[in-house]
Structure 1
């Protein structure tokens, strides 16, 4: 008996079988499968973007067969908690061998209870503790089977699962509403920057046609310049590799890698990486079409595969950063990118130098930058508060599951 549970605990392998069925190599090459990889399952248990393959063209890890009531749990990168319940799957649904497929034993473990008990904090902590490896922690399926789970009587399991489902649905509805608010805030943030960059701050200012499709009409007193007259390429290399490593993302622009809370590939040596000074425009050549560009805030180095440009005195670095971060500019540079596939387009200097920029007077650029900073700060405060409330709701859902499956929560008989 565990001190944190009024129910006895039983090792999972006695309540569920593991990896019962797999595809064999003699499957018809033209057999069509729907495939779930580890990256398709998020930490809340939702499955995204199921892929379709002919068996012959499917990844070699596409082998595990799943049935209704199964629960899949990732055995690699276990800290991501990629766990999902399988409900009414098509006959051709296959999951990666990176998952352990748990099948509740008939008359022993309620399938709905199984999907929740595998999210009990003690169980999740045990999975992580038994995982080996630093950057890619993994666990054997047999190890998962040895972990003990709370084990209430079978009749109670269904009641507990129904109660959790009802309460979780209420919480999930609140989370979904707050997520919609976050989407609206993100759109508002983009609109603040785009309106100021493309139209200025004076609604009474006379406009003229810019002659540039993505800009349309602009204030009549603004200039239009091609990038080649506004920037010069910087291709200076680090001799020691000791400078601050900078990353270039479509989400955060140019930021020090040390501020990124993610596992990123690190080269053995950064000698020869490109120098990038505060105020320079850095562009991720491969992901420019997604908007991966921005002005550096600090001195550092970037990948030699990126491009670095120094703006002329006609442009404020903060104005440059704001302009390249609006989605319509990313769409514009796509026109000048090269590549056969849209997802493999690259923006080289000769393409970037073909783009046109609106150039307001420098004092107006200062005003635009201040306006964007003030407007987005208000949006960001509301976004932060909303994100915090979502975190609290997720913690509440996790606590609810933990209390219910361990018997620490009174469940009304009506449940």
Structure 2
């Protein structure tokens, strides 16, 4: 079930957990059936199926009567008016879900015009929402292309193609990079940095004394931190020395999206870090943000992913991280690369922000159009007033 589209065929590799191998409790769905997820987030995950297949027992399936045109029902029951009714009748499930029973759902009154009017409204909305959805798809594709453009610029910058001009080049010992400017090096990361894993979380330290906030893997995003609602655990005096964070420290994810990194801004104070994160600290001439961009380029080349296999979860150990080689220009050039990339990304982020606002406005327009049409507030071509 997909909220914008309704009922869609499940695709392999869509990021969701694999379905149960026991499908005996699954239900049959036919074209024209109304399908609803009784535990929704938001509680508008429903739609009329265009497919014949099976679905999890967590869903309601209803065969619509002849008085209800399937596509009209699809649009009507997904409006905010009806979603609010599901939430009013359902049971709140923290943090943001609602559980509604079949008996509660079936008691909801439907405002239905004559069948021929339903069909006309459904035809109109199918055409208009398809047009809006096509615009949204194009804008989302533009956002994806801008992201690909940034990735390409990062790779070009750390390979010396943007700032080194026509400088002679040499072959490198870096497996994912052919050549670099001849005056650059390719040292191990450990030659210019120290690395330190954070403290391991356990039940005892989660509830022990000397509680301090800490950064976990999910708090570290590319070039930024999400520091809302940081968890806490025990950090005694020795822990606080070992796991302290200084401005300019580079925090690198050891698992999850391996290699994802951001530079610590220096605040808030008295925040430490969990074992799932490496602290990478310069010990010689190194610009932390340049190192972050090197990790960015390497991650996009799947450098860290290939170090595991399908039978194991990939982890970037401290030893492996220190042994990774990266293209290494002089400090002044590192800073120039960072300046160039930061400026370029700021422009792209501005464009992405504008496109995102346009997508939000189109989605609002789509919802308002559907609501106006199914409630009779909008004059539909071919329908008598």
TM-score normalized with structure 2 length: 0.83
Change beyond 3 A, Cα 1:310–1:86: same
Tell me how large the CA RMSD over aligned residues is: 3.1
CA drift of 1:192 comes to 1.7
CA drift of 1:233 comes to 2.1
Contact 2:6 2:46 (8 Å CA) reproduced: yes
- Residue of structure 2 in register with 1:189 after alignment: 150
Contact 2:33 2:48 (8 Å CA) reproduced: yes
How far apart are the structure 1 equivalents of 2:142 and 2:265?
29
- Residue of structure 2 in register with 1:95 after alignment: 55
- 1:11-410 alignment to 2 at 5 Å? 41-45=2-6, 47=8, 49-50=10-11, 57-58=21-22, 63-79=26-42, 81-89=44-52, 93-105=53-65, 107-129=66-88, 130-135=90-95, 137-139=97-99, 140-199=101-160, 200-235=162-197, 237=199, 240-243=210-213, 245=215, 247-248=217-218, 252-258=222-228, 269-272=232-235, 275-289=244-258, 291-299=259-267, 300-326=271-297, 328=299, 331-335=302-306, 337-338=307-308, 340-341=310-311, 344-410=313-379
How far apart are the structure 1 equivalents of 2:130 and 2:198?
55
Change beyond 3 A, Cα 1:313–1:81: farther
How far apart are the structure 2 equivalents of 1:45 and 1:298?
45
How far apart are the structure 2 equivalents of 1:390 and 1:73?
26
Match of 2:39, SS state, is coil
Gaps of 5+ in 1: 1-37, 260-265
CA drift of 1:51 comes to 5.4
Change beyond 3 A, Cα 1:84–1:241: farther
Change beyond 3 A, Cα 1:148–1:73: same
TM-score normalized with structure 1 length: 0.77
Deviates more, 1:181-190 or 1:303-312: 303-312
Match of 1:218, SS state, is strand
C-alpha offsets along residues 36-75 of structure 1, whole Å, 9 cap, x if unaligned?
xx6xx24443636435999982478x62321111232222
Contact 2:298 2:304 (8 Å CA) reproduced: no
Match of 2:110, SS state, is strand
Match of 1:135, SS state, is coil
Change beyond 3 A, Cα 1:297–1:74: farther
Gaps of 5+ in 2: 200-204
- Residue of structure 1 in register with 2:202 after alignment: none
What is the number of equivalent residue pairs in this alignment?
Answer: 361
Change beyond 3 A, Cα 1:408–1:183: same
Match of 1:148, SS state, is coil
Change beyond 3 A, Cα 1:281–1:180: same
Change beyond 3 A, Cα 1:256–1:169: closer
How far apart are the structure 2 equivalents of 1:258 and 1:250?
12
Match of 1:102, SS state, is strand
How far apart are the structure 2 equivalents of 1:365 and 1:55?
48
Match of 2:379, SS state, is coil
